[in-house]
Amino acid sequence: MENSSKIWLSAGEIDMLGQRDFFLTKKIIIEKIYHQFAILIEETKRQAIFINATFPEGSDSSTGKISKGENYMGFPYQILDFPRFFSGENILAIRTMVWWGNFCSCTLLLSGNSLLQHAFNLRKSFLKLKENDFYVSVSDSPWHHHFNRENFIAINELSEETWIRIIDKNIFIKIARKIPIDRINELVTFSINSFRIFAALLTSH
């Protein structure tokens, strides 16, 4: 007896399931993304981008950590956290993300003592971040990565007064910028340029 509760695959879905080239190509793409992450780490160290930056003791500024998944809002992703420090509420993390079907992004997340330490530089960075197409998180959670308006708002839409208010009242600050996924071959250059801006924010004067 036929079970009407079964969910049958369509002809197109069955065809996709049998596309061996698709899965092999996906594997190759992931390997190339990881290779770009490795180049980014080495180039960051070669150029000594963070040489004057102030990181919490115990920060990882040499190897980084890669994570991945298949279903962030329905799409695969790869993430590099480098440099990074996570200790309870004290967080300083730079996150480079490749989100399939969407974009590549670079994000700086600060909370706890790390936010307090660098809040002065953040307040003074309004024009620099505005000129470089950065966004700031307006979410209650630092762990959302999409750029929908309930999560990020463009800094160029804010007044400097509003920017300073966000820094002073929030328990975390997350700033980010992105490029379209079809510019992924620019990932290292885009990330290095973002890192230079982050490094200036993380340098004690």
Residue 1 binned pLDDT confidence (cut-offs 50, 70, 90): very low
> What is the residue extent of each domain of the chain?
11-201
Residues 27-62: tens digit of each pLDDT: 999 999 999 999 999 999 999 999 999 999 999 999
- What is the C-alpha separation between 12 and 1, in angstroms, rounded? 26
pLDDT attached to residue 121: 97
What's residue 43's pLDDT?
Answer: 98
Mean pLDDT computed over 105-109: 99
Predicted TM-score of the model (pTM): 0.93
- Distance from C-alpha of 92 to C-alpha of 59, rounded to nearest angstrom: 8
Mean pLDDT, residues 137-159 taken together: 97
Contacts of 94 (CB under 8 A, 6+ apart): 81, 82, 83, 84, 106, 107, 108, 109, 195, 198
Reported as a single tens digit per residue, the pLDDT across 6-19 is 889 999 999 999 99
Write down the mean pLDDT value for the chain.
95
Provide the CATH number for the domain formed by 11-201 in this structure.
Answer: 3.30.930
